[in-house]
Amino acid sequence: MVRYLTAILGALLIGWGAFLSSAQAQTMCGERSAVVATLEKTYSEAPVSVGLASNGAIIEIFASPTGTFTIILTQPNGLTCVMAAGEYWEDLPNRLAGAHT
């Protein structure tokens, strides 16, 4: 699980610029409450997933009913940054790793 989150975090850090919308790129980091309020007010996004990275950072995915999504990372020092944003978010059915359908 830790390897999986580390790989995702690394990929996000490398490619975040390619996914950010211009509006979100202008306010990339700040207090978590301000970032969450902006996501809720501007995009109608709410948290759908959360995970703890090996460095103590919290990774959250926010999504809206219309399919927009934003991935944020809150560092142990409290700073929250938008890592990626996009459209066409879709929830997949829950499956256990290694389970065959």
In a domain, 97, yes or no: no
In a domain, 91, yes or no: no
In a domain, 92, yes or no: no
Residue 8 has a pLDDT of 53
pLDDT digits (tens, 9 = 90+) for 33-86: 999 999 999 999 999 999 999 999 999 999 999 999 999 999 999 999 999 999
Alpha carbon distance 95, 84 (integer Å): 25
In a domain, 101, yes or no: no
Domains identified in the chain, total number: 1
Alpha carbon distance 29, 5 (integer Å): 21
What is each CA distance from 65 to 17, 40, 45, 54, 73, in whole angstroms? 24, 12, 8, 30, 22
In a domain, 96, yes or no: no
Residue 20 has a pLDDT of 46
Residue 15 has a pLDDT of 47
In a domain, 29, yes or no: yes
List helix spans (H) across the chain.
2-19, 22-26, 32-43
Alpha carbon 54 to chain centroid distance?
16
Domain of residue 51, CATH code: 3.30.160
Residue 93 has a pLDDT of 82
Q: Which domain holds residue 66?
A: 2-86
Residue 10 has a pLDDT of 52
Q: What distance, in Å, lies between the first and last C-alpha atoms of the chain?
A: 21
